Amino acid sequence: MARPESLIFWALALAALSSMASAAIVEHTFHVQNLTVNRLCQRRVITAVNGSLPGPAIHVQEGDTLVVHVFNKSPYNLTIHWHGIFQLLSGWADGPEYITQCPIRPGSSYTYKFTITGQEGTLWWHAHVQWLRATVHGALIIRPRAGHKYPFPKPHREIPIILGEWWNANVIDVENQALATGAAPNNSDAYTINGRPGNLYNCSQNPKFTYTYKVQQGKTYLLRIINAALNNQLFFKVAGHKMTVVAVDASYTNPYVTDVVLVAPGQTTDVLLTTDQAPGAYYMAASPYASAPNVSFDNTTTRGIFIYENAPSAAVSAPRMPALPAFNDTPTAHKFNSNLTSLVGGPHWIPVPQHIDEHMYVTVGLGLAPCGAPGNNSCGGPNGQRLSASMNNASFQLPTRLSILQAFFFNVRGIYTADFPNKPPVAFDYTNQNNSMNQALIFAPKKTSVKKVKYNATVEMILQDTSLIAVENHPMHLHGYNFHVLAQGFGNFNPKTDRKKFNLVNPQIRNTIGVPVGGWAVIRFQANNPGAWIMHCHLDVHLPLGLATAFVVENGPTPSSTLPPPPSDLPTC
């Protein structure tokens, strides 16, 4: 008779073989090049992947290895970031320029290869150089591996809904002009749903400019909503229909019923929508949530249409329109963001780490940088200076000679300094608008300052908005990790009272958190993946201004916790 331990061994071996058998190598080729498109009365040349906007959707199963050959036929430097992918021991494939790699030069190529482990749901991929992600992006959909199911009833169909932003200009020129003048960049001219602006915009009455999807009455659809916009959070609604949130950032949630979804740039939200209304046509629509007071923004609305099969022609010709929240409806935004909880015991759920090794209190927000030479006050930002941004009074500056990950791996000095502070150098009333334009606080030095963390350490960060220019909701994205969102609120974080609000049981798990306008959010994660991982505001207007830092996570004690060498074709600087 077999021993119990022998039976356990063979059971584990069979499970491992079954897991390996269900995994596959999924291979794609991306040709990144110019594409001429018509939008809003204009023919524009954009940068796109494989001749489409959005770019191709990637479909994989958990456990698969993804191989993507990227050929840069565009006139710009390029990298691709796989937003939300853990990149366990494959940090060389994460993609942010000068953090994990140097850019892929025009006329060159690079192959990204990584295994997707412990993740299911909706993520996305996008360019991570300058503003190219405005048009270089697409969905990355991870389904359960063979033999596994969703933790909710199987939907009739799955529909990617990619919310984007459109300029009647070359987006690289828009960014470069802002950086040259020191002023805020020009606002976008439209929002889009799956690359189409919808019929509320000029020259968009042709049906080809409105995304339309035909549905069957009485069916349930899984909408995979991705905010690929550069600089705006977006409210999303479907006329006459409720939605049930079942996942955010590829992490399952307790079902949350709502008639409105808020998605910040970088975030994804999976919702179930049941077509339980009378046969007809119903607009889906998205409009901005703009929290910064007295700051201009693109205050327009994009919309698409769900059309029921067998709907009468009169109803199809006059779709119902949802009532969207006001652009400054912070109560609705906060209600949505603070009511999501994780699905305890669901696939890939991880409990909150209880022991904390690194306590960090980090201020985030806009500031100023000197215009240039002393006495030169001719820049386009406030007070004739340049707009800047910082975390803990350090305005992050990308290196150019070598990526941070290369410097870490090869122990090259002079690329970064491991002195990012655990708290602000000066404590003040962070969200008091009387501190706006405080000359003693508003200028932050430019430097490549990172936080060094030991392998497996647990990090808790209190992210605190500031009002040095204006309070604003900041979507903060951490590469390489998910984190638990323990609490969020308004004003200055109060450790005596606000720690009592921490959810240590089933907090939402994300990779991008919208730090409330004039408020704070507390996140916690375990640094169990060695490498260099940038944390930055996912408003593209803020990243080049310095609203970022990076974590350099040291190697662990075993080969399975040590970063391997870079691939031979890693681009060089």
In CATH terms, the superfamily for domain 151-339 is: Cupredoxins -  blue copper proteins (2.60.40.420)
pLDDT tens figures, 60-93:
999 999 999 999 999 999 999 999 999 999 999 9
Name, in order, each residue with C-beta under 8 angstroms of 495's C-beta and a sequence gap of 6 or more.
Answer: none
Give yes or no for residue 424 having a pLDDT over 70.
yes
Phi-psi region of 465 (alpha: psi -120 to 50; beta: other; left: phi over 0): beta
Q: Residue 531 has what pLDDT?
A: 98
For 79, counting Cβ atoms within 10 Å of its Cβ (0-12 exposed, 13-18 middle, 19+ buried), the class is buried
3-class DSSP state for residue 336?
A: helix
Distance of alpha carbon 483 from alpha carbon 198, whole angstroms:
35
Domain 358-561 class in CATH? mainly beta
Q: Which helix (H) or strand (E) holds 17?
A: helix 4-22
Name, in order, each residue with C-beta under 8 angstroms of 190's C-beta and a sequence gap of 6 or more.
Answer: 39, 40, 165, 166, 197, 201, 298, 300, 302
Q: Give the pair of three-digit tokens for residue 70.
A: 């990227």
Give yes or no for residue 14 having a pLDDT over 70.
no
Distance of alpha carbon 522 from alpha carbon 520, whole angstroms:
7
Q: Residue 540 has what pLDDT?
A: 82
Q: Give the pair of three-digit tokens for residue 41.
A: 């009365």
The pLDDT confidence band at residue 359, using thresholds 50, 70 and 90, is: very high
Q: Give the pair of three-digit tokens for residue 21.
A: 């058998």
pLDDT tens figures, 97-154:
999 999 999 999 999 999 999 999 999 999 999 999 999 999 999 999 999 999 999 9
Q: Which helix (H) or strand (E) holds 329?
A: none
Beta bridge partners of 80: 127
pLDDT tens figures, 240-283:
999 999 999 999 999 999 999 999 999 999 999 999 999 999 99
Q: Which helix (H) or strand (E) holds 413?
A: none
CATH topology of domain 23-148: Immunoglobulin-like (2.60.40)
Q: Give the pair of three-digit tokens for residue 438.
A: 């405080």
Contact 436, 469 (CB under 8 A): yes
Beta bridge partners of 271: 223, 245
The pLDDT confidence band at residue 374, using thresholds 50, 70 and 90, is: low
Closest CA to 565 of 35, 126, 92, 123: 92
pLDDT tens figures, 478-513:
999 999 999 999 999 999 999 999 999 999 999 999
Mean pLDDT on 48-55: 98
Distance of alpha carbon 270 from alpha carbon 70, whole angstroms:
28
What does pLDDT average to over the chain? 94
Q: Residue 11 has what pLDDT?
A: 41
Q: Residue 117 has what pLDDT?
A: 96
Give yes or no for residue 4 having a pLDDT over 90.
no
Mean pLDDT on 371-388: 81
Q: How many helices (H) and strands (E) does the chain have?
A: 6, 32
Give yes or no for residue 23 having a pLDDT over 90.
no
Compute CA 241 distance to the chain's CA centroid, rounded to the nearest angstrom.
26
Distance of alpha carbon 292 from alpha carbon 471, whole angstroms:
6
CA atoms within 13 A on the CB side of 241: 35
For 263, counting Cβ atoms within 10 Å of its Cβ (0-12 exposed, 13-18 middle, 19+ buried), the class is buried
Model pTM score:
0.94
Beta bridge partners of 45: 36
End-to-end Cα distance, the chain:
63
Q: Give the pair of three-digit tokens for residue 164.
A: 């984007």
The pLDDT confidence band at residue 294, using thresholds 50, 70 and 90, is: confident
3-class DSSP state for residue 375?
A: coil
Closest CA to 166 of 272, 53, 7, 80: 53
Q: Residue 171 has what pLDDT?
A: 96
- Give the strand pairing for 446-447 and 474-478: unpaired
Closest CA to 469 of 183, 269, 252: 183
Closest CA to 111 of 93, 91, 89: 93
Phi-psi region of 541 (alpha: psi -120 to 50; beta: other; left: phi over 0): alpha
Q: Residue 434 has what pLDDT?
A: 85
Q: Residue 373 has what pLDDT?
A: 58
Q: Give the pair of three-digit tokens for residue 196.
A: 């189409």
Would the CA dihedral through 188, 191, 196, 197 be positive or negative? negative
CATH topology identical between 151-339 and 358-561? yes
Q: Residue 21 has what pLDDT?
A: 52
Integer-rounded Cα Rg, in Å, for the chain is: 23
Return the minimum-mean-pLDDT range out of 17-26, 323-332, 370-379: 17-26
Contact 121, 268 (CB under 8 A): yes
Higher pLDDT, 22 or 197: 197
DSSP string for 429-481: -TT-GGGTT-TTTSB--EE-B-EEE-TTEEEEEEEEE--SS----EEEEETT-
Residue ranges of domains in the chain: 23-148, 151-339, 358-561
